[in-house]
Copies of this chain bind each other. A is one copy, B any other.
């Protein structure tokens, strides 16, 4: 026990910006650098073309990390519902940022009936330290009480559309209601309009924004260059965490089919399989509480190209789902358990280093690079 305490102390002693520690992931030596410390439950991040990083904190601040310096909160972020799991959530830099200076971000928005996930876009004025032209381009149709299961992640797809993942707000049957967005993945043009190819574009069988339904609380998403598809990770009930590949118009089952069970131990729904409901690509039991997903595609760790990197709040680890050349999952490696904290997000920087956010009171942005 004293050894654990000592190790916690030694790790804590290194949790300041600029600190670097040596560790390993499998057989690969890793240097873990604390690029920013003292963040208040950081949640989302993305890279600007010049290497600066935009980071959200759940309580409502968006900051830039630039050359080792964390900026004051950017002005212009709308008020957020910062209770429970709600707050300022993901941020994504538009693929055309170099010309448009646009970013997109999600947040829990308060309003009639409670709160719900919303998506905004804005332009970033770095010199002035503010967001301009902030525009909410999507809101979940119905706000509701409680502070759980807002999702959310934003993914820009190669075709110029964007996906947003949405939780079911703890009201599980919303995930099966196609007239509701909650518990769905939506697909939009960057201005919020409906792109061609959306499965319910005419609105007759479901909301036009919807791409897929039957999700519980997807908090990780990434475009997969291997299988040319969106991938998501979602929190299931106990033992039911999943990786999914959401396809147009399909139903991923929650709560009709699930691998999870209630925390009371009671079973949920009708089992694990049912015609008309899709299977996950992967599921974990015990749950790891996955939040944050990246498909590794950088030059620094060629061994990991095409693999899925999944942050885990529980066990405080990074799960690497090893994939073969065809994109099939063929192994799991769990790295950094209890070394850094609850891993809320994972992203791959342009140089191929892997960045993590730790969802802690004294949260950090950590850069993992290849050691010797």
Chain A contact residues, CB within 8 Å of chain B = 1, 24, 26-27, 239, 259-261, 265, 267-268, 271-272, 279-286, 303, 322, 324, 328-335
Contact = CB atoms under 8 A, between A and B. Distances in A.
Given A303-B271, A329-B329, A261 B334 contact: no
Copies of the polypeptide in the assembly: 2
B27 A260 contact: yes
A330 B26 contact: no
A283 B27 contact: no
Contact of A285 (B265, B267, B282, B333): B333
Nearest to A260: B27
Nearest to A29: B265
Contact of A283 (B24, B280, B331): B331
A268 B322 CA distance: 19
A239 B27 contact: yes
A97 B224 CA distance: 52
B332 A284 contact: yes
A331 B282 contact: yes
A1 B283 CA distance: 31
A333 to B, nearest CB: 4
A191 B210 CA distance: 64
26 contacts: A1-B1, A24-B261, A24-B265, A26-B239, A26-B259, A26-B261, A27-B259, A27-B260, A27-B261, A27-B267, A27-B268, A239-B333, A280-B331, A282-B330, A282-B331, A283-B331, A283-B333, A284-B331, A284-B332, A284-B333, A285-B332, A285-B333, A285-B335, A286-B334, A328-B328, A329-B329
Contacts of A27: 239, 259-261, 267-268
